[in-house]
Structure 1
Amino acid sequence: MFQPARHRSPKTPRWVRGLLTCTFLAVISTTHLGCGLDYVVRNISPLHPTGWSFAWPILPSQSQRLEEDIKREERDKVPILDPIPADGLGAACLDPPNEEEVWNKVPKFKNGAYFFYETQRNNVRILIEKIGEKVDPCKIYPLAGPCQLVHCHYKCTVYYDELYWSDYPIPFNHVDHKVEVVYIDKDHLRRCGGPAQAATPPL
């Protein structure tokens, strides 16, 4: 009985060649053809533990949440500023809250019930006032060294018009003038200033 030529051939089996070809194409398609890029420095990716990522469709709400997380991470970092001037001319609190930060602290509201009535907030005006400032004595903080903790207290008053309207079944339009007060504390570290060094005359 004759055996087929493929049994007498020293070539690699067909299933092995197919597996190697599929593996090669998968590696090429996920690393060089745009389906995936290497993210060595970037920390945000669908596969963060592996250090690389690929194109992944996400919802607009998820994209907005990622942007908010990035902003929150940058905002929550603890800066260490220069020492407070000995003459007292420089202000200790140099970074008041911005309008976006204040508006995010205002209680959220519902947009209303679709088809029955809608709600909007218009004519927003924000007044930011510094109501307190305190500088703690110099002490040593881990990973920061000798620093002073500066406490800055702000009172933020938000004025806005809340509009309610509906077209069906009973048309109506109502404007409510509202005021919200938000208190924000912003603390930061400043390096401790050393004693003034006298200039030594050259020898």
Structure 2
Amino acid sequence: MRRNIAPTALLIAMALVSLGSTGCTTLGPSLGWMATPIPITAYQQKKHEDQFWNHERYDRAPILGPITSGAEVVALDPPSDDEVMRAMEKARPVQGGVPLLFERNRNNVRIVKEKIADYIDPPRVYPLIGPAQQHHAHYKCTVYYEDVRRVGWPVPHTLRDEDAREVIYVDHNHLHMVGNVDTGAGSPYGP
């Protein structure tokens, strides 16, 4: 009986040592139970991704160099189709719905953009920026599309509005520095 216990104990000890030394080891502090991932819904993830997309591309105002005398001052590029559709989705959401119960789509989308205003404010001092002028550009974007609504309950049917249209107003603002701008890069000719 004594002979069976020793090899079994040796095998158990080797198994425990091998299990303790496998996998990744972490050097340094551990977060413990706070390192456990928390699942979120697809709706919440898409909402956060859209917020980041808008912040990264459309919520910031660029700061351009000073306006040179005699040059014609025109606004930056007109709003992109993506920006117009995101603004329209905020105003009249289509995403979501319940498959086979109620769905809504926009098909055959065509966007017409026209500039309605382009002007520059007088110079003023902005905190953390310094003296600058704000350049405003206002656009009227008309979106023509086919609105398709599929209702699945109580009686399945499809509603089509082939001449749907929405008007979205998009404002683009950016700043122009005023005066002798010191970028902090230094002069190649010395201090």
Q: TM-score, normalised by structure 1?
A: 0.60
Report the residue type matching 1:164 in the other structure: R
Does residue 79 of structure 2 align to residue 79 of structure 1? Answer: no
Percent sequence identity over matched residues? 37
- Matched-pair contact (CA < 8 Å) for 1:84–1:90: yes
Hey, what does 2:46 align to over in structure 1? 64
Which residue of structure 2 aligns with residue 100 of structure 1?
82
- Alignment match, 2:165: 179
The counterpart of 2:111, out of the listed 109, 126, 150, is 126
- The one-letter code matched in structure 1 to 2:44 is Q
Give the partner amino acid of 2:40: I
Structure with more relative contact order (C-alpha pairs < 8 Å, separation 6 or more) = 2
Q: Which residue does 1:190 correspond to in 2?
A: 176
Structure 2 gap ranges (5+): 1-24, 181-191
Deviations 1:107-141 (A, max 9, x none): 12476665455432111111111110111112221
- CA shift, 1:73, in A, is 2.6
Superposed displacement of residue 164, structure 1: 2.9
The structural deviation recorded for 1:187 is: 1.4
8 Å contact kept, 1:147–1:190? yes
Equivalent residues of 1:166, 1:173 under 8 A apart: yes
Q: CA RMSD in A?
A: 3.4
Number of residue pairs the alignment of both structures matches: 151
Where in structure 1 are there 5+ consecutive unaligned residues? Answer: 1-27, 37-46, 48-52, 195-203
